[in-house]
Amino acid sequence: MIRKTFSLAATFICAGALALPALAQSDADRAIDYELANSRAYDTLEYLTDNIGPRLSGSKGAALAVTWATKQLRAMKLDDVRNEPVMVPHWVRGVERATLVSHNDQKIVLTALGGSVATPENGITADVVEVSSFEELDRLGRKVAGKIVYFNNPIDMSLVESGRAFDAYSKAVEFRGAGPSHAAQYGAVAALIRSVASASLRSPHTGSLRYDEKQPKIPGAALSVEDALLVHRLLAKGERVRMHLVLTPRTLPDAPSFNVVAEIRGSERPNEIVLIGGHLDSWDLATGAIDDGSGAAMCIETMRVLKELGIKPKRTIRAVLFMNEENGLRGGHAYFDAAAKREEIAKHVAVIETDAGAATPVGFTTTLEGSALANFTRAAAPLNRIAAPLTWESSRHTGADTSPLTDAGVTGFGLTPDPRHYFDFHHSPADTLDKVDPHQLAQNTAAIAGLAVLLANQ
């Protein structure tokens, strides 16, 4: 989709950013200071993760999270709190078990990729063939027929360590999405990837695959890094590696769910919207503390802070807790469709998404570029005392749930906590509350709250 620049956003960015009035700065400062001193974001995250637990779309946990978050927001006496319906995929994991029948029936640790079909009930037993690229797979062609294709896709740790973890992830994750169908076109019976992870203690990391409807659907799973290395070493020695694989996931009928939407209406321009959003669903392997319980908690907490401080932003601040970011993005699309029906798309002045964990905030990505960005970063100086001065990086992609909006030309911002350890835990059983530091969570919330108020008060 071609990006259009809406006049509203453009006006704001070009005309407004150079000299924000004192009042606007003051509200942002107040929100930041209050959050840093009085944060309850961690309590919110603790309940969501410890008491509700995993929240995969369609699950009881996801439904409980919607009910609970709605209740929390309603208790704040905001101007509006509503559930916007969305039908979501309902995928259930089942058994996942593998052994190397060629090597003393050693157990192999893996996890089904989200959306994967099941193996036959008694499993698949087949030779494993390793490839490092789609090109290599294409060269092998039908030689992989009847076999299990293993995509050897290590994450680039030098990128991770230099702070480009999301770039490293994007590269390595390509095979997770497209690998199974690519292998299926040559008759492979299953596809494996190496977990896209920057740390491992035999930890499998899940995530969605995307089937090409023109190809047969074959099961897909992610090996733990250790098991991927084992398979690689055995194959590199020239040994035949034969695996028995049992996966019994089921795709149930789509389930009804909701985005949770809460608003503080603008005092001067209530029809203009600054959106803050994170997602309420998580993968099923863990309680989703960093992905994206922390983002949801930041949004809930921002509304609490603004309300408790009595801040009346000029524009409407709307928090959206999206459903189904992980395995469908149905919530992001449903929100867009509902907003379009309300003729609201162009009324979104800016969208701020938080879905990258809660380590110390280092900056934001933004769809702003050039002088507009330069102007904006000067106006956003109040945020710089939260942690080290923030970086602002131009990017077409500032968040998945808000991508329908930014694709339509809305100005986007994406919070960037320090990404160096995010993929140690992401989509794995280890994404639990203990990975989040309460003060860092408050810093991130202060950044979201501060930026939202700055944008809304312009």
> What positions carry a catalytic annotation?
325
Q: What is the DSSP letter of 19?
A: S
Binding mask 286-315 for its own copies (x = CB under 8 A): xx----------------------------
Q: Which two tokens stand for residue 250?
A: 């089921």
- How many CB atoms sit inside 10 A of residue 161's CB? 12
Cα–Cα separations (whole angstroms), residue 122 to 106, 125, 241: 18, 9, 19
Q: In terms of CB distance, is 178 or 229 closer to its own copies?
A: 229
Q: In terms of CB distance, is 103 or 385 closer to its own copies?
A: 103
What is the rounded (10 degree) CA torsion for 225, 227, 228, 230?
120
Q: In terms of CB distance, is 100 or 454 closer to its own copies?
A: 100
In sequence order, the 6+-apart residues with CB closer than 8 A to the CB of 272 are: 8, 266, 315, 316, 347, 349
CA distance 446 to 458: 18
The DSSP H or E segment spanning 29 is helix 22-38
* Structure-token match 């798309």, residue found: 345
Q: Quick check: 229 binds its own copies (CB under 8 A)?
A: yes
Smallest separation, CB 122 to its own copies (Å) = 19
Q: In terms of CB distance, is 50 or 369 closer to its own copies?
A: 50
Chain centre to alpha carbon of residue 153? 21
Q: Of 284, 430, 294, 267, which Cα lies nearest the Cα of 356?
A: 294
Of the residues 27, 35, 46, 96, which one makes contact with its own copies according to CB under 8 A: 46
Half-sphere exposure of 241 (CA within 13 A, CB side): 24
What is the rounded (10 degree) CA torsion for 217, 223, 227, 228?
70
Q: Quick check: 50 binds its own copies (CB under 8 A)?
A: yes
Chain positions 202 to 221 lying near its own copies, rule: CB under 8 A, are: 202-203
How far from each other are the two terminal CA atoms of the chain, in whole angstroms?
Answer: 29
Q: How many secondary structure helices (H) and strands (E) does the chain include? A: 15, 16
Chain positions 51 to 70 lying near its own copies, rule: CB under 8 A, are: 51-54, 60-61, 64
Q: Which two tokens stand for residue 203?
A: 């930890």
Smallest separation, CB 446 to its own copies (Å) = 24
Q: In terms of CB distance, is 200 or 375 closer to its own copies?
A: 200
Chain centre to alpha carbon of residue 240? 38
**What one-letter code names the amino acid at 304?**
R
Q: Quick check: 201 binds its own copies (CB under 8 A)?
A: yes
Q: In terms of CB distance, is 106 or 267 closer to its own copies?
A: 106
Smallest separation, CB 59 to its own copies (Å) = 9
Q: Are 149 and 127 in contact (CB under 8 A)?
A: no
Q: Which stretch binds its own copies (CB under 8 A): 4-12, 138-146, 397-405, 432-440?
A: 432-440
- How many CB atoms sit inside 10 A of residue 19's CB? 10
Chain positions 373 to 412 lying near its own copies, rule: CB under 8 A, are: none
Smallest separation, CB 202 to its own copies (Å) = 4
Edge-to-edge strand list for the sheet holding 411-417: 80-92, 250-264, 315-322, 269-279, 348-353, 411-417, 361-366, 391-394
Q: Which stretch binds its own copies (CB under 8 A): 169-177, 185-193, 313-321, 427-435?
A: 427-435
- How many CB atoms sit inside 10 A of residue 253's CB? 8
Q: Which stretch binds its own copies (CB under 8 A): 171-179, 197-205, 250-258, 381-389?
A: 197-205
Smallest separation, CB 425 to its own copies (Å) = 7
Q: Quick check: 167 binds its own copies (CB under 8 A)?
A: no
Smallest separation, CB 227 to its own copies (Å) = 8
Smallest separation, CB 239 to its own copies (Å) = 8
Residues in the interface with its own copies (CB under 8 A) total 38
Burial group, residue 341, by CB count within 10 angstroms (0-12, 13-18, 19+): exposed
Q: In terms of CB distance, is 66 or 276 closer to its own copies?
A: 66
Q: In terms of CB distance, is 78 or 109 closer to its own copies?
A: 109
Q: Are strands 391-394 and 348-353 parallel, antiparallel or unpaired?
A: unpaired
Smallest separation, CB 152 to its own copies (Å) = 14
Chain positions 105 to 164 lying near its own copies, rule: CB under 8 A, are: 105-107, 109
Q: In terms of CB distance, is 39 or 432 closer to its own copies?
A: 432
Q: Quick check: 454 binds its own copies (CB under 8 A)?
A: no
Chain positions 71 to 110 lying near its own copies, rule: CB under 8 A, are: 100, 103-107, 109
Q: Give the binding site for its own copies (CB under 8 A).
A: 46, 50-54, 60-61, 64, 100, 103-107, 109, 199-203, 225-226, 229-230, 233-234, 239, 286-287, 424-425, 428-430, 432-434
